[in-house]
Structure 1
Amino acid sequence: MNRQQRIARLRERLAIARHRLNIAVAALVAEEEIEARQRRQRRWWVKPWIQRRPLYGQYETLMQELRLEHHGDFKAYLRMEPDMFQELCARVGPRIQMSQDGRPPLSSGIKLAITLRFLATGNSYRSLAFDFRVTHNTISLFVPSVCRAIVEEYEDEVFSTPSTPDE
């Protein structure tokens, strides 16, 4: 076999090896895409126990019962009278209400109730999540903004800034 034949044969082997390599890479990429799709698939968009919030959540059940039947227990629960809660909700509600982008947003009332319960008890976000049937990461997002909204709404009435050094 002369030199040109050996070079031609080597090129043929190289082309076959490249073809096999391309097939192997394509198979690995396809396998990885399938695994990635399987990893991303969720069982639920919202967990079923959270979807039952209107039936069993504390805001929808216990708080409404206490508001209608036992004002003293409502005050013990949130550390404020039901009328004050309604006033606070009316004043702060527009600041904390989110626009609707598909799924219905949490009402300003439930956000305020969870925040007040957090401030009253110091319970963890996870504990409040089970009580109110709202995920803990959602609670962690709105509690600071509700606190800011309360301060902004009442700062002119409650927090006075001294205007002179003597004050």
Structure 2
Amino acid sequence: MDTETYNHLLKYVTPYIERQNTCMRKAISAQRLSATLRFLATGRSYKDLEFTTIMSKQSLCEIIPETCDVIYRVLKKDFLKFPKSEQEWLQIAAD
């Protein structure tokens, strides 16, 4: 994924994945998207991603499903349209 596409996607998902720092820990915000995209692109296990993302397996188990849900919600309207007519289904079949 090129930088422009990544930044465009990050702009869409940031309001939903951004977290606040606390006195106990620093928030993982933009890294949530990076870890999720790495998981989706490589199919690696959470255990393997621990070392490349420097996040715990427990964090990844929470972050990746949440971020996938957010990506789906923000992109579905424009990019994941479900065919509504027989004509649209026929066009998809032809393509």
Q: TM-score, normalised by structure 2?
A: 0.82
Counterpart pick for 1:161 among 79, 82, 93: 82
Unaligned runs of 5+ in 2: 89-95
Counterpart pick for 2:18 among 68, 87, 97: 97
Query: Who is 1:125 aligned against?
Result: 46
Task: Give, in whole Å, the separation in 2 of the partners of 1:160 and 1:90.
Answer: 21
Task: Give, in whole Å, the separation in 2 of the partners of 1:152 and 1:101.
Answer: 27
Unaligned runs of 5+ in 1: 1-79
Counting aligned pairs with the same residue, the percent is 29
Matched, 1:150 2:77: no
Bigger RCO (CA 8 Å, 6+ sep): 2
- Secondary structure of 1:104 counterpart: coil
- 1:114-161 per-position Cα deviation (integer Å, ceiling 9, x unaligned): 111111111111111111211011001010110111111111111112
**How many residues are treated as equivalent by the alignment?**
87
- 1:67-126 per-position Cα deviation (integer Å, ceiling 9, x unaligned): xxxxxxxxxxxxx0011111111111111112444322102x211011111111111111
- Secondary structure of 2:81 counterpart: coil
- 1:4-51 per-position Cα deviation (integer Å, ceiling 9, x unaligned): xxxxxxxxxxxxxxxxxxxxxxxxxxxxxxxxxxxxxxxxxxxxxxxx
Counterpart pick for 1:114 among 27, 32, 35: 35
Task: Give, in whole Å, the separation in 2 of the partners of 1:88 and 1:160.
Answer: 18
- Secondary structure of 1:163 counterpart: coil
Query: Who is 1:134 aligned against?
Result: 55
Larger Rg: 1 or 2?
1
Root-mean-square deviation (Å): 1.4
After the TM superposition, which segments of 4 or more aligned residues of structure 1 sit over 4 Å from their partners? none
